[in-house]
């Protein structure tokens, strides 16, 4: 990230993408440390704070990887990213409802990317990845509720 910020690294990945991947890696490492010390339970606030940020960034990434002519999808993704940034631990129903809708959006997007019906630079493996992460969020949310 620092090399990119300093203009030393030229990439087609946004600085936010590098931060996103690092955040996911840090969380994974913390979870592994917890597992190795016998701590397997999840903290509700951490789950919601982590995953709402990840979901918001996914929506933003999707919006910026769609062909500009996919105006309706770009707009939907941008609105969704904004909605995720507003959510917090205070509204369980709102988080769950937003997540259910986002999973449906990601499933539709994945199918559209794979079939070529959605014009984008989204690789099908990336579409699958963001869907699986939303499902992981849903699983963790159920376990802390």
Q: What is the pTM of this model?
A: 0.90
CATH of the domain at 57: 1.20.1260.120
Same domain, 88 and 30: no
Q: Is it the case that residue 86 has pLDDT exceeding 90?
A: no
Question: pLDDT digit string (tens) for 56-77?
Answer: 999 999 999 999 999 999 999 9
Residue 44 has pLDDT above 80, yes or no: yes
Same domain, 92 and 116: yes
The pLDDT, as a whole number, for residue 14 is 87
Domain count, the chain: 2
Q: In terms of domains, do 8 and 52 share one?
A: no
**C-alpha torsion angle, residues 54, 55, 61, 67 (rounded to 10):** 170
Structural domain span for residue 3: 1-40
């Amino acid at each position: 990230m620092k090399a990119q910020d300093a203009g030393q690294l030229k990439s087609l990945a946004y600085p936010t993408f590098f931060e996103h991947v690092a955040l996911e890696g840090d969380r994974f490492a913390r979870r592994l440390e917890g597992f190795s010390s016998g701590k397997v339970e999840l903290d509700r606030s951490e789950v919601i704070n982590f995953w709402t940020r990840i979901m918001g960034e996914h929506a933003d990434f999707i919006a910026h990887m769609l062909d500009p002519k996919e105006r309706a999808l770009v707009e939907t993704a941008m609105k969704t990213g904004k909605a995720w940034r507003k959510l917090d631990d205070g509204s369980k129903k709102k988080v769950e409802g937003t997540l259910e809708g986002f999973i449906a959006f990601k499933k539709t997007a994945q199918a559209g990317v794979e079939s070529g019906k959605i014009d984008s630079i989204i690789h099908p493996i990336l579409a699958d990845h963001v869907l699986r992460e939303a499902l992981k969020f849903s699983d963790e949310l159920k376990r802390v509720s």
